[in-house]
Amino acid sequence: MSNLTYSQVDRDILQAMKAPGWRYYVVFFANLLVLLWGIFAWQYTVQRGLGVWGLTHPVMWAMDITNFVFWVGIAHSGTLISAILYLFRVRWRASVYRTAEAVTVFALLTAGLFPLIHLGRPWFFYWLLPYPQVGGLWVNFRSPLIWDVFAVMTYMIISVLFFFTGLVPDVAVVRNRTTGWRHHLYAFLAQGWQGTDRQWRHYKAAYLFLAALATPLVVSVHSVVSWDFAQSIVAGWHSTIFAPYFVAGAIHSGLAMVITLLIPLRRIFRLDTYLTQTHLENLAKLIILTGLIVGYAYVVETYIAWYSNNVPEWQRFVYQVTGEYAVPFWIMILFNSLVPLLFFVKRIRTSTPWLLGISILINIGMWCERFVIIVTGLAHEYDPYSWGLFIPTWVDISITLGAFAWFFFWFLLFAKLLPVISIVEVKEELPPPMKSTGSEA
Amino acid sequence: MEVNRRDFLKIIGIGGATAAMAGCGAQPPESLIPYVVPPEEIIPGEATWYATVCRECPAGCGMLVKTMEGRAIKVEGNPDHPVNRGRLCARGQASLQGLYNPDRIRQPLRKGTDGSWGPTSWEEGEKALAARLAELKGRRGRVALVTPLVTGSLDRLIDEWLRAVGGGSRLRYEAVSHEPLREANRLAFGVAAVPFYDLEQAELILSFGADFLETWLSPVEHARQFGAMRTYRDGRMGRFTYIGPRLSLTGANADEWIAVRPGTEGVLALGMIHAILAEGLATALPASEEAALRRLVEGWTPAETAEQAGISPDKVRVLARAFARSRPSLAVADGKTSNGTDICLATTLLNYVAGNVGRTVRFGPTAAAGRTSPYREMRTLLQSMEKGEVSLVLLAGVNPAFTLPEGERFRKALEKVPLVVSFASFPDETAMASHLILPDHTFLEGWSDIEPWDGIQGLQQPTMRPLYETKALGDVLLSVARRMGLEQQLPWEDFPAYLKDQWKGLHRHSGPAEDFETFWARALQQGGLFRSVPLRPVRPNPEVFRHRFEAPRFAGESEGLTLIPYPSPIFYDGRTANRPWLQELPDALTQIVWDNWIDMHPADAKRLGVSEGELLRVQSPLGTLELPAHLSGGVRLGTAAVAVGQGHSAFGRYAEGRGANPLPLLPAEPETASGGQPWIATRVLVTRTGRRHLLASTTGSDRPHDRGIIQTVPLAEVQRLREPEKHPHLLQMYPEHSHPKHRWGMTIDLNACIGCGACVTACYAENNIPVMGKVQVAKGREMSWIRVQRVDEGAPDYPEHRFLPMLCQQCDNAPCESVCPVYATYHNQEGLNVQVYNRCVGTRYCSNNCPYKVRRFNWFMAEWPEPLHLQLNPDVTVRSMGVMEKCTFCVQRIQGGKLQAKVEGRAVRDGEIVPACAQTCPTRAIVFGDLKDLDSEVSRRSKDPRRYRVLEYLNTQPAITYLKKITAGPVEG
C-alpha cells in the first residue's frame, strides 16, 4: 500500500462510486422485491393479528426477537472496529472501519424495526417512550424493555453521529468532484469542510470524543439487550453470564458479517490494494477470540444448569440439546465455537473462500443461537402442562427475509453513494507526497 | 367482536322496549316474577335474576338466570334447589349457547316435494298437523309421539292431548337411560324405580361402572355429595373404588381402579356377597334370607369370580370385608352390557347384604330417570314405521336418528311415514328427516315444571322473550286441539294456563295457609316446590333368590377389541355438541378438544402397530367408522373406548363433521331382561389406515416432570402434617405491597376437585372469552382464563390422573408486572394483579415471564357469530386484537359486591362476592374471599396444614393457596 499516491487513492476509492452497471440494478431490484414482500407480510400481520405468526401460548417471542437480537449484535462490530480500535491506535482498521460502521448503522436500522413489528398493537409504539401525557401515564423503568428503548436509541444516535463525522473529510473530496444533486448532497454532508488546520483540529477532537463515547456502548447496549432475558425468571434466560456472553456473541457475529460483506466488496470494486489479506486475517484473528469466549459461555451455561441442581433449569438444558430444537442448537455449537477454531490455521484464515464460507456459517450460527435461547427457554418453562412448540409460518419467514433485504437495501445504496473506504485515513498511512498533486485533504 | 356503540345502543333499546312493553308482540304478555327485584324496577345496567330449571339433561338442576336489558347473559345454580344447591356442570353453564345458537331453527319450516326446506307460518303448520290428526282420529295406533323424559305438567298434558286427539303411542326416550337399574330393583324389591343414592353418607363407595360424576343420574348432585363424602375429618375420609374396564373421569377420582373384564362387574359383586356371607359379616340379615342368599351365590366363590373378572381372588375378599365393615357403604352400578340387569341386581343385593338399603339406598324419593320408556319400545316403533303402520310421528326434543344404534334405519323408516312433525330447536339429524318443523322454545324461553325426584317440583319460567318465531310444545298441542274442536277436553288457552291450573292442585294439597297467588309467586321465586318424601321400606322379593345370573354376550369376532362407547361428559348423548364452549372445553382425561377418538391400551396398540393420532378403521359386524387412536392405559387390555356425542352429520356448524358416532356399530337387540339398550355389546376389529389425524390437545406434557405443581399427601400422613416450612425472608429491593382494606384470595382444595371443567365454562360465560376453534387450540391459542390441568402420575397401564385448576395466581411479587414497559399490568390496593387492556401494547413479555402461564394473548379479533354476541356480559370488556388478558378474579363481581355493601352502608360479607368459577364448582373446591378478614372461609382454609402454593420457591407470593390432594390407595379389609 505504501507505494500509492494520494491521487491514486482518490481515484481508486472513488471509482467504486461511478454509475452502476446492470448487474447492480438486477441485484438492487431483486433485493427490493424481497423487501416489498416482507413489508406485505408485516402489513398482513397488522391487519389480521399476530396469530398469523407461528407464536403460541408459551412461546410468545420467537423469530421477531431473534431478529432483533441478531441485528443488534451485527451492529456491534462496527463500533468495535471504529471506536475501540481507534482508541488503541490499531492501524489496520483504516481500510475496514467505514464499511464496519455502515454495517452498524444499517443493522441498527433493521434491529430497531423489530421492537415495533413484534408489538400486538404496533400503532401504539410511542407508548414505550416517556413523553408528557395529559393522563399522567408514564413508562415502567423497571422493565428491561424500557432500558432497551434507551440503549438502542442511544446507540443509534451515537453511531449515526460517528458515521457521519468520520465521513466529513471524505465527502468533501467527493463534493469537489460531483455536480448536480449529488453535489448538493455531498455539500450538505461535508458541512462546509475546507481542510483547514482549525477544522482538522476540531475534527480530530470530535472524532476522539465520539470514539470515547461509543466505546462503552459496545459493552452496554448488548448487555442491556441480554437483560431482556436475564432479568426474567424463565429458566434458561435467568442467568448472570448473559451480559458478557451476549456482548462477545454480538462482536462475533458482527465481525463475521463485516467479513461477509468486505470480501465481495473488495472483489467487485477492485480494492485489493486497500483491503489486503492482512486486514481480513486480522479480523479472523479477532473472531478466534470471540469464538472462544462464546464457546466458554456455552460450557459455563451447561455446567451451571447441572450444578444449580435446579430441575426446570436442567430439564430445559436437556430439552435444548435433545428436543425439537436440537438441530439449531447443534448448528449453534458447531458454527459459533468449533468452526471458527479453524482460523488457528494460517492457511485457512488467509484463504478468501474459507474466510467467506466460515463467516457465513458464523452468521447462521449466531442467528440460531438467539433463536435457541429465546425459543427453547419459553417452550419448556415451569409448568409442563403449558409446554408448547413454535413452528414458523410463511409470515415469520417473510418478515425475517424482508429484514435482510432492508439491511442490504441500505448497504447497496451505501456502496454506490459513499466512499466505502476512508480516504483520509488511508492517506494517513501513506508517506506524505513530496509535491502537491492538487488533491485536497 | 362486533359490538360497537351502535349495536350496544340497539341492544339497550330492545331491552328497554322489552321491559316497557312487558313482553308485547307475537307472544301473549306474561308477568315474570324475578328472583330479587320486582319487575317494574328493571334498571338498565342492573341484572334481573330468574329462577328456572336446567334442561340440558334429565337431572333437573335448579338454575338462576342473570338477565340484563332483556337478555339472558349468565346461568348459575339455584342455591335453594335441593338437587344442585347452587352449582351447575359445564353443560348447564353452556345452555346459553343453545339459546343463542346461530344455527337455531328460527321459524316453522316445511319440506318441499323436492326435499328442500322452506319457511311456513304457524297457522299453516298447525293446520296441517290438525288436519292430519283429524283424518287419523279413531284409527288406533296410527300416531306416535316421542319426547325425551318429560315430567310434571307437560307430561300430563301430552298424555291428555294424545287421548283427546284419538290416542297413539307415547314414548319417553332417553339414549342415556337406566332400564337395567329399574328392572333390577323390580326384581329385588318389587319396585320398578330408581332409588335415591346417598353418596354423602357412605364411608365407602364402590362404583360398578356408574359414572356418577359425569352422566349417571344426577351428576351435579352426586358431585356435591361426593365432595362432602371425601372431606377429610379427624384422620378419616370417605373411600371410593371404581370397578370397570374403562377408567372414566369418575374412576379417575377413585382411590383405586379395578379393571375387570367388561360385563363381569356383577360377577365381582356376587363374589363379594359370597365372601361377606362366608365371613359372617352380614350381621343385619334375617336367617332365612341369609340362607337363600347363600344358595344364590353358591357357585360364585371369590376364586371363581376373580377368575371370570380377571382380577386376584384376594381383591374380592378385601373389597368384601371393607364394604361390609364400612357402615354405611354404597354400591352403585350402571348395566351397560347385555347382562346389565344382572350387574345392577348383583350390586343391589350387595347393598342389601351390607345393610345399605334404607340408609344410602333409599326408596320413597325415586328418580324420574326410572320412568323412561324402555329402548325396546323405540325398536317396536321403528319396526311399525317400516311396516307402514304409522301415519303420523311427532318428535319433540329427541334425536333418535343419531342416538339409536339403528339411527340410519330409523331415518329411512321415517320416510315411510306420511307425516313426520318435529318440534326441534336445532336442525339435527332427526329434524332434517321430518316433513314439518314446528320449532319449540329453548328452555330459557318457555314455561314448564320438572320433577327429577319425587317431591321436587322445579318451576321453569321464561327468562327472556323468545328470540325467534318459536312456540312452546304445550302451546302448539293446545292450539292444535282447538283447531280440531277439542276445547271441551282441553279448555286451556295456552300451556302456562294449564301449568298454573296444575299448580292450583298442588296448592290445595299443600294446605291453604296462603292464597294461591302468594304460593305461586313464592314457588317462582325460589324455583319450585321442594318437599321431603317419606322413606319407603322395602323387602326382598323371594323370587330374587332364585335368579339366574347370565354372562355378557358380545357380537363380533372374538379376537377383536371389546368396544366401550360411553356418553361424553361434555356432550352427554350428543345433544350439546353444537355449543362452541363445550367443543372447546378439554376432555378431562385427555385434554383433547373439538374431536373424538378411540382409546386403546398401549399394549394393544403395539400389537397392532398403531401409533398416537393414527386414523383407524373400526369395524363391528354392523358397521365401520374411522377414528384417530389415542393411546391410554385407562382402558383394560383388549378393550377400546369411544365417547358418544360427536359425529353429527347435521346439527349446525359447530357439531357437523367432527369425529364419528360409535353407536351405529352396536347390535340393536335390546337387553332381554330390562328392554334397555346394551352399549358395551360388540367387539370391533381395528385396522390401520396409515393416515394421520390432528388431535388438538391443550396439554403440553402429561407427566409431572418433578415440578411439584400438583402435590399430594397420603391419608395416613395428613394428621402428621406440620406447618409448611417458611421460606427464608428474601431481601427485597422494593417495599411490600400494602393492602389497606381487602386482600382478595382464593383456596383450591385439590382433594375436592374432580376435574369436571364446570369452572372453565362458567368463566367463558362470565368473562366474554372467545372460542378459537380446533386449529388454533392445536397451536396453543385457547383463551381460557382458568384451565383444569391434568397430570398422569401413574404407571403406563394404571394411570393416576390428578387435576389442578390453574388460573392467574394474583401474585404479590408478580413477575408479569415488573416487565411490562407501559404499566398495563400492575398490583392494585386489593391485591389484584390488574390488566389494563387499553394500555396494553402487546409486547407479550408478561406472558413469557409468567411461570404459571395463565396469560392469554388476543392473536386475532375475536368473533361471536350472531346471535351469540347477545350473551356477552356488558360488565366485562370485549378485548381487541393484540392485547393480553387473564383472570381478573371476576373484578366486575368484586366491584358489584363492594358497591352493594356501600349502598347498604355495611362491610362486605364473607361469601357475598363469588367469582364465576367458585360459584359453579360442584364440589366447592374453590373458595374465594378476603384474606384480610381473618374469619373468612378463605382465611381459614388457607391455614390448613395441607396448604401449598404452586412454584413457591420462585417467591412470587401467589394469592391462591392450594390444598394437597389426599391419596388413600386401595381399601384394606
Domain A6-429 CATH assignment equals 1.10.645.10: no
User: Could you report the per-residue pLDDT of A86-106, keeping only the tens digit for each?
Assistant: 888 887 888 888 888 999 999
Q: A220 touching B, CB under 8 A? A: no
- Amino acid A154: pLDDT: 92
Q: How much is the pTM?
A: 0.93
Cross-chain residue pair B781–A125, CB shorter than 8 Å: no
Cross-chain residue pair A384–B849, CB shorter than 8 Å: no
- Amino acid B28: pLDDT: 45
- Amino acid A427: pLDDT: 84
Report the alpha-carbon distance of residue A335 to residue A356 in Å, rounded: 13
Cross-chain residue pair A383–B782, CB shorter than 8 Å: no
> What residues 829-848 of chain B have any CB closer than 8 A to a CB of chain A?
839-845, 847-848
Chain A and chain B share a number of CB contacts under 8 A equal to: 159
Judge contact between A175 and A187, C-beta under 8 A.
Answer: yes
A383: nearest CB among B709, B780, B844: B709
- Amino acid B427: pLDDT: 96
Q: How far is B251 from chain A (nearest CA, A)?
A: 22
Confidence of residue A2 (pLDDT cuts 50, 70, 90): low
Report the alpha-carbon distance of residue B189 to residue B349 in Å, rounded: 10
Judge contact between B637 and B797, C-beta under 8 A.
Answer: yes
| Terminal Cα-to-Cα distance of chain B (whole angstroms) | 59
- Cis upstream peptide for B328 (omega within 30°): yes
- Amino acid B35: pLDDT: 47
Q: B700 touching A, CB under 8 A? A: yes
Q: Residues of B312-342 as b/e, b for ≥16 C-beta within 10 angstroms?
A: ebebbbbbbbbbbebbbbbbbbbbbbbbbbb
Per-block mean pLDDT, blocks of 10 residues, chain B (973 long): 53 45 42 49 78 95 93 95 95 97 96 93 95 84 92 95 91 95 96 95 96 96 96 93 97 96 95 95 89 93 95 95 94 94 96 94 92 95 94 95 96 95 96 96 95 94 94 96 92 95 89 85 92 92 92 92 96 96 96 96 95 96 96 95 96 95 95 94 95 94 93 93 71 86 96 96 97 95 96 92 97 94 94 95 96 96 94 95 96 95 95 96 96 95 94 92 95 86
Q: Calculate mean pLDDT across residues A363-391.
A: 95
User: Could you report the per-residue pLDDT of A282-324, keeping only the tens digit for each?
Assistant: 999 999 999 999 999 999 999 999 998 999 999 999 999 999 9
For residue A139, report the phi and psi dihedrals to the nearest 5 degrees.
Answer: -90, 165
Q: How does the average pLDDT of chain A come out, rounded?
A: 91
For residue B918, report the phi and psi dihedrals to the nearest 5 degrees.
Answer: -65, -35
Give the mutation candidate from B785, B849, B880, B886 for the A interface (greatest A CB count, under 10 A).
B849
Report the alpha-carbon distance of residue B682 to residue B622 in Å, rounded: 9
Judge contact between B824 and B833, C-beta under 8 A.
Answer: no
- Amino acid B879: pLDDT: 96
For residue A37, pLDDT over 50 is answered with yes
B815: nearest CB among A56, A145, A233: A233
Give the mutation candidate from B859, B860, B885, B953 for the A interface (greatest A CB count, under 10 A).
B859
Q: Which three cell numbers stand for residue A114?
A: 423489530
Cross-chain residue pair B839–A61, CB shorter than 8 Å: no
A381: nearest CB among B789, B790, B853: B853
Cα B891-B895-B898 angle, rounded to 5 deg: 135
Nearest CA among B377, B386, B378, B380 for reference residue B413: B386
> What residues 177-196 of chain B have any CB closer than 8 A to a CB of chain A?
none
What residue ranges define each of the domains in chain B, with the CATH number in brackets? 5-99 (2.20.25.90), 109-171+374-530 (3.40.50.740), 179-357 (3.40.228.10), 561-692 (2.40.40.20), 748-967 (3.30.70.20)
> What residues 408-467 of chain B have any CB closer than 8 A to a CB of chain A?
none
Q: How far is B845 from chain A (nearest CA, A)?
A: 8
**What is the 3-state secondary structure of B903-961?**
HCCCCCCCCCCCCHHHHHCCCCCEEEEECCCCCCHHHHHCCCCCEECCCHHHCCCCCEE
Q: How far is B708 from chain A (nearest CA, A)?
A: 10
- Amino acid A21: pLDDT: 87
For residue A204, pLDDT over 60 is answered with yes
Instruction: Please enumerate in sequence order all residues whose Cβ is within 8 A of that of B384, keeping only pairs 6 or more positions apart, or say none.
Output: B141, B144, B390
For residue A111, pLDDT over 80 is answered with yes
Report the alpha-carbon distance of residue A146 to residue A150 in Å, rounded: 7
**Number of other CB atoms surrounding residue A25 within 10 Å:** 11
Angle of helix A352-379 relative to helix A242-268, nearest 10 degrees, comes to 150
Which residue of chain A comes nearest to B955, CA vs CA? A233
Which residue of chain A comes nearest to B852, CA vs CA? A383
- Amino acid B33: pLDDT: 46
Supply the ipTM of this predicted assembly.
Answer: 0.93
- Amino acid B19: pLDDT: 44
Q: A133 touching B, CB under 8 A? A: no
Could you write out the DSSP letters of every residue in A209-263?
Answer: HHHHHHHHHHHHHHHHHHHHHHTS--TTT--TTHHHHHHHHHHHHHHHHHHHHHH
Residues of B in contact with A125 (CB under 8 A): 841
Using the 8-state DSSP alphabet, how is residue A52 labeled? G
Report the alpha-carbon distance of residue B352 to residue B345 in Å, rounded: 10
Largest CA distance in chain A: 79
Percent of the residues in chain A that have a pLDDT greater than 90, as a whole number = 70
Domain limits of chain A? 6-429
Q: B792 touching A, CB under 8 A? A: no
DSSP three-state, residue A130: coil
- Amino acid A87: pLDDT: 85
What stretch of H or E contains A189?
Answer: helix A180-190
A311: nearest CB among B706, B779, B859: B706
Q: B815 touching A, CB under 8 A? A: yes
> What residues 725-784 of chain B have any CB closer than 8 A to a CB of chain A?
776, 779-782
Residues of B in contact with A310 (CB under 8 A): none
Judge contact between A336 and A366, C-beta under 8 A.
Answer: yes
Q: How far is A67 from chain B (nearest CA, A)?
A: 15
Q: A120 touching B, CB under 8 A? A: yes
Q: B704 touching A, CB under 8 A? A: yes
Residues of A in contact with B852 (CB under 8 A): 382-383
Using the 8-state DSSP alphabet, how is residue A335 labeled? I
Q: Calculate mean pLDDT across residues A154-175.
A: 91
For residue A441, pLDDT over 50 is answered with no
Q: How far is A250 from chain B (nearest CA, A)?
A: 22
- Amino acid A76: pLDDT: 85
Nearest CA among B22, B85, B783 for reference residue A56: B783
Residues of A in contact with B776 (CB under 8 A): 51
For residue B456, report the phi and psi dihedrals to the nearest 5 degrees.
Answer: -110, 105
Q: Which three cell numbers stand for residue B964?
A: 394437597
Q: How far is A426 from chain B (nearest CA, A)?
A: 46
For residue A340, pLDDT over 60 is answered with yes
Centroid of chain to Cα A150: 18
Could you write out the DSSP letters of every residue in B328-395?
Answer: SEEEEE---STTHHHHHHHHHHHHHHTT-BTTTEEEEEEEGGGGSPPHHHHHHHHHHHHTT--SEEEE
**What is the 3-state secondary structure of B385-405?**
HHCCCCCEEEECCCCHHHHCC
Q: How far is B390 from chain A (nearest CA, A)?
A: 55
Cross-chain residue pair B882–A383, CB shorter than 8 Å: no
Percent of the residues in chain A that have a pLDDT greater than 70, as a whole number = 98
